[in-house]
């Protein structure tokens, strides 16, 4: 992270920590050009419901699509929760040891709103928290200096309608580092910050580690496609463009051992860029971070494993045969039909994914993000008596006499 970004974020967080919501409002005025009212920060539930009703009437197909996304994400999240089982192991004397999953008490979810608005991200962050059982979920998204619904602070009506559909009751018009600082130091402060954002959001999350938990340090989005001659060049070109249109820093890379395919994709890109309504951002992104790479299977796998991209498409006739060797990516899209866009818009698995090579050791956002494991130790007197001698011996070896005596007392108490 650049030094100027670190310094700017540090100054904002220090101010919000000191002055609270007033500082968050001041920074919103300076950075977003919106003068908020401390008495009317929370988006009223009536405004959320109005947005939903208006869109149901004006754009029923859009609301139907949003509900499909929500249903798929919720179904997948509920499956995740069922897979997270509590553990209990018996001990010889009749006691047990184990662990259980417990929901966090509070979570703050960040919904980006700079170049675009993302109701899909609102659903992807809120639903896993709801399924996990988080009691208080607070959403934040940047306001805009434009008229929308009363009390909405310029937030897009589709985001408001999505919040209503999800049953989210706390949505506030804060963006950037000031939003995360306000969540982390608020009353009450949240236990976890989740959701993607720009470099200022990522840096704020990094600086707030220890104050509260975070889901991940998300950077610019990434797509790597591995393809062979069976792939459709038009499909591949659109997949690369779909990734590049996110952001000028988005990475979109195609690797194939088939030169003819790469040449066909290059031609498709050129033709489609000329007619694209997103041409400016696409050209900037593809020029900086777009690549067409010719490599054999061994080198392609090595590249994928080393990069650990956020998204990895396998447009290959024998995609399943590659899977055992591709373990580091955040999400895999297997087969030509499985475009990354389906993952972004609600196939089920979460689209908030690790970036910047962090997929080597971290996972997509999900229900487990909003849960913690709690160890459980339940000893019977017989178990305590059996353990006491060797626990006492180890404690003595480490110079912790009272640990040993604490165990020995239980051992002596057992008949």
* 365-394 confidence digits (pLDDT tens): 999 999 999 999 999 999 999 999 999 999
In a domain, 368, yes or no: no
Same domain, 123 and 263: no
Please give the model's pTM, rounded to 2 decimal places.
0.94
Helix (H) or strand (E) holding 371: strand 371-378
How many domains does the chain divide into? 3
β-sheet bridge partners, residue 377: 97
Q: Say if 369 falls within a structural domain.
A: no
Q: Token match 């900086």: residue?
A: 288
End residue of a domain, out of 162, 188, 214: 214
Assess contact for 82 and 110: CB atoms under 8 A: no
| Residues 24/182, Cβ–Cβ less than 8 Å | yes
The domain boundary residue, chosen from 182, 214, 246: 214
Q: What angle do CA 108, 111, 113 make, to 5 degrees?
A: 145
Q: What is the mean pLDDT of residues 1-17?
A: 93
Full residue range of the structural domain in which residue 291 is found: 222-361
- pLDDT reported for residue 384: 96
Q: What is the pLDDT of residue 414?
A: 60
- 99 in a domain, yes or no? yes
Domain for residue 259, yes or no? yes
List residues with catalytic annotation: 310-311
pLDDT at 286 exceeding the cut of 70: yes
Give CA angle at 238 (230, 236), nearest 5°: 20
How far, in Å, CA of 415 to CA of 397, rounded? 27
- The token pair at 134 is 């988080």
In the block, residue with structure tokens 């929500």: 70
pLDDT category at 218 given cuts 50, 70, 90 is confident
pLDDT confidence bin for 215, thresholds 50/70/90: very high
Give residue for tokens 């309504």.
Answer: 277
189 with 249, same domain: the answer is: no
Is residue 367 in a domain? no
**Which of 153, 20, 66 has its CA nearest to residue 139?**
153
Closest CA to 8 of 220, 141, 211, 198: 198
* Distance, CA of 57 to CA of 330 (rounded, Å): 38
SS3 78: helix
Q: Is residue 53 within 8 Å of 104, Cβ to Cβ?
A: no
Same domain, yes or no: 237 and 209 = no
Alpha-carbon dihedral sign for residues 295, 298, 301, 305: negative
27 with 175, same domain: the answer is yes
pLDDT band at 415 (very low <50, low <70, confident <90, very high): low
Q: Do 226 and 125 share a domain, yes or no?
A: no
Q: Using the CB atoms, write b or e for 260-290: b if 16+ within 10 Å.
A: ebbebbeebbeebbeebeeeebbebbbeebb
DSSP track, 137-176:
EEEE----SS--STTSTT--HHHHHHHHHHT---EE---H
Q: Judge whether residue 180 has pLDDT over 70.
A: yes
């Amino acid at each position: 992270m650049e030094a100027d970004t670190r310094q700017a974020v540090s100054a904002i967080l220090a101010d919000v920590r000191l002055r609270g919501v007033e500082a968050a409002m001041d920074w919103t005025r300076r950075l977003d050009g919106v003068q908020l009212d401390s008495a009317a920060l929370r988006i009223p539930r009536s405004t959320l419901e109005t947005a939903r009703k208006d869109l149901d009437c004006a754009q029923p197909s859009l609301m139907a699509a949003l509900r499909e996304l929500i249903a798929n994400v919720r179904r997948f999240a509920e499956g995740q929760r069922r897979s997270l089982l509590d553990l209990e192991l018996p001990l010889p004397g009749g006691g047990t040891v184990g662990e259980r999953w417990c929901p966090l008490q509070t979570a703050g979810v960040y919904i980006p709103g700079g170049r675009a608005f993302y109701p899909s991200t609102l659903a992807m962050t809120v639903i896993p928290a709801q399924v996990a059982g988080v009691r208080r979920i607070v959403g934040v998204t940047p306001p805009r200096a434009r008229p929308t619904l009363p009390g909405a602070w310029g937030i897009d009506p589709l985001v408001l309608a999505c919040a209503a559909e999800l049953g989210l009751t706390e949505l506030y018009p804060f963006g950037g580092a000031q939003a995360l600082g306000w969540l982390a130091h608020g009353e009450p402060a949240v236990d976890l910050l989740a959701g993607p954002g720009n470099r200022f959001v990522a840096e704020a999350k990094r600086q707030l580690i220890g104050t509260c938990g975070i889901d991940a340090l998300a950077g610019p989005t990434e797509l790597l496609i591995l393809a062979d001659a069976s792939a459709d060049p038009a499909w591949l070109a659109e997949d690369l463009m779909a990734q590049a249109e996110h952001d000028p820093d988005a990475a979109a890379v195609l690797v194939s051992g088939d030169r003819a395919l790469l040449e066909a994709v290059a031609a498709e890109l050129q033709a489609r860029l000329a007619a694209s309504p997103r041409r400016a951002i696409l050209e900037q992104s593809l020029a900086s971070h777009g690549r067409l790479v010719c490599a054999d299977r061994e080198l392609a796998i090595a590249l994928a494993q080393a990069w650990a991209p956020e998204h990895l498409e396998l447009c290959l006739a024998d995609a399943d045969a590659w899977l055992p060797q591709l373990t580091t990516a955040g999400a895999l899209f297997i087969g030509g039909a499985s475009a990354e866009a389906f993952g972004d818009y609600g196939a089920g698995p979460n689209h908030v994914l690790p970036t910047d090579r962090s997929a080597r050791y971290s996972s997509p956002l999900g229900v487990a993000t909003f849960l913690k494991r709690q160890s459980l130790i339940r000893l019977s007197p017989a178990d305590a008596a059996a353990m006491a001698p060797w626990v006492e011996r180890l404690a003595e070896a480490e110079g912790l006499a009272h640990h040993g005596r604490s165990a020995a007392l239980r051992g002596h108490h057992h008949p």
